[in-house]
Amino acid sequence: MTHGSNGRPAPGGPGVRATPIPGLLVVDLEVHGDARGWFKENWQRAKMVAAGLPDFSPVQHSVASNGPVGVTRGVHAEPWDKLVSVVAGRVFGAWVDLREGPTFGTSFTLELDEGVGVFVPEGVGNSYQTLTEGAVYSYLVNDHWSPEAEYTMLNLADPSVGIDWPIPLTEAVVSDKDQTHPTLDQVTPIPQDQSRGRVLVLGRDGQLGRALLEAMPAAEGLGREELDLADPAAVEAFDFTGVDVVVNAAAYTAVDAAETEEGRRAAWAANATGVAALARAAVEHGFTLVHYSTDYVFDGTQDTYTEDDPLCPASVYGASKAAGDLTVTVAPRHYLLRTSWVVGAGKNFVSTMADLAERGVDPRVVDDQVGRLTFTTDLAAATTHLLDTGAPYGTYNLTSAGDPASWSDLARKVCEATGHDPDRVTPVTTQEYTAGASGPVAPRPARSVLDLAKIQGTGFEPVDQMAGLTAYLEGRTKP
């Protein structure tokens, strides 16, 4: 177990600082004082989100007034996020990570006054001890208090956590209930995806949907029969009671078929109209919406694309996905993950190339489209990372890292990794490959390289493309 305290911060802000507990953030609040007293912005959404605090959509403000010195409350892990700050006096705070994972039992302590607050993510136990008479602290929470709410508790005096209380607990004012909480070895860690409310995964039967459900085993997977995203009325009528996160892995992905009259309607229904209905539901019900985008929202004429580059799709599929992207951004709590060249369990480019090599077929593969693969396991891991760490909401690029490659480069690597001669792959241009096609062919981005700096800045490191490809082939189950 690790323990840490950064002491009392210098004045100034707003600023947001990390702690040894993932998602637990220290917030420096700028206090303006003169002979009349002082003023501060206790919650200022635009400034604080820009500084790195999650846009956690608080719905309730509560205030705790404490009379004598030494009033000690906790350790309680509540089923919501909260921003704690001091209105008057000084308070000693102690936090313990009670979520499952490598930081379970990690503690952090800090003295709070008017100039410093702490953002406490759901599942992290928190406790406070007053250091002055008449101390008052306030907290904003993103769910309404309920007497039916379930808490995970930890004993204030647990020696394995070793909180160094400024006022010994034998001299402190502690409720009878708080003195009887279990020690850490008796606490059941809170599952990461159960520290939230209900989590729904749409598109459970697709490659990404299956990977997401493996990464979030407590989530509920929904297929088209339970919620048809292409039917806005079905989305509007769906009961989202108790839902905290909706992860949308459902989409129309038949790129070439989308160029037909029937396919165009289907693509826009699922990728744009249905997503707009889902975004409206996110606004109405207050859940976090996770949605997946594509390199096809760009025309492929730039060397690299960042999250801020303007959308410029060249195909019907790309246009329908771009429209969906724009509607997702109206949800206050949203993560939009833009990806490319997705590979997961089942039929995909990599598995097809491996099968052809094993059957003795020498493929012709496009050599003038360049990008990076994205493995569904990595995409699912990035999703849980953003949710669990409370990363700032917004758009994130997520593909494998490493040098970009063409489709033919990757096909050669597949042949080599499966023990076949890579020279069996014949590189061709897109025009040569599509010559004589029996139906419409959608334009593809010539370059699909997405910049990864933003998601790396949250602490997530995508897998290297070639290392991921090797691992995928080693673990592949033939269809």
DSSP string, 81-95: -EEEEEEES-EEEEE
What are the residue ranges in the chain where pLDDT is below 50? 1-13, 478-479
- Asked if residue 328 and residue 228 are part of one domain, the reply reads yes
In terms of Cα–Cα distance, which of 107, 291, 90, 91 is closest to 184? 107
For residue 434, tell me if it sits in a domain.
yes
Q: Check: CB of residue 230 under 8 Å from CB of residue 203.
A: no
Q: Check: CB of residue 373 under 8 Å from CB of residue 466.
A: no
User: How is residue 32 written in tokens?
Assistant: 């303006």
For residue 175, tell me if it sits in a domain.
yes
- Asked if residue 139 and residue 20 are part of one domain, the reply reads yes
User: How is residue 307 written in tokens?
Assistant: 């999250």
Return the pLDDT at 1: 41
- Asked if residue 252 and residue 125 are part of one domain, the reply reads no
Domain boundary among 118, 152, 186: 186
Active site residue 76: yes
Q: Which of 139, 292, 335, 396 is catalytic?
A: 139
- Asked if residue 279 and residue 166 are part of one domain, the reply reads no
Query: What span, in angstroms and rounded, lies between the C-alpha atoms of 8 and 26?
Result: 11
CA-CA distances (angstroms) from residue 130 to 124, 154, 379?
20, 19, 44
Q: Which of 3, 32, 61, 76 is catalytic?
A: 76
| pTM over 0.85, yes/no | no
For residue 193, tell me if it sits in a domain.
no
Q: Which CATH number covers residue 92?
A: 2.60.120.10
- Triad 332, 335, 336: Cα angle to 5°: 115
- Asked if residue 372 and residue 245 are part of one domain, the reply reads yes
- Asked if residue 279 and residue 417 are part of one domain, the reply reads yes
For residue 249, tell me if it sits in a domain.
yes
CA-CA distances (angstroms) from residue 165 to 94, 131, 132?
9, 10, 14
Domain boundary among 152, 186, 220: 186
For residue 349, tell me if it sits in a domain.
yes
- Asked if residue 399 and residue 277 are part of one domain, the reply reads yes
Active site residue 128: no
For residue 83, tell me if it sits in a domain.
yes
- Asked if residue 174 and residue 217 are part of one domain, the reply reads no
State residue 271 phi and psi, 5-degree precision: -90, -20
Domain total of the chain: 2
For residue 470, tell me if it sits in a domain.
yes
Domain boundary among 186, 217, 245: 186
pLDDT tens digits, one per residue of 386-414: 998 889 999 999 999 999 999 999 999 99
Query: What span, in angstroms and rounded, lies between the C-alpha atoms of 408 and 210?
Result: 28
- Asked if residue 276 and residue 153 are part of one domain, the reply reads no
Query: What span, in angstroms and rounded, lies between the C-alpha atoms of 213 and 201?
Result: 7
Burial 147-179 (b: 16+ CB within 10 A, else e): eeeeebbbbbbbeebebebebebeebbbeeebe
Return the pLDDT at 133: 95
What are the strands, taking DSSP E only, across 123-260? 124-130, 136-141, 152-153, 173-174, 198-202, 220-222, 243-248
Q: Which CATH number covers residue 354?
A: 3.40.50.720
- Asked if residue 125 and residue 211 are part of one domain, the reply reads no
Return the pLDDT at 9: 37
- Asked if residue 250 and residue 129 are part of one domain, the reply reads no
For residue 191, tell me if it sits in a domain.
no
Query: What span, in angstroms and rounded, lies between the C-alpha atoms of 14 and 34?
Result: 19
Range of the domain at 259: 198-475
- Asked if residue 213 and residue 75 are part of one domain, the reply reads no
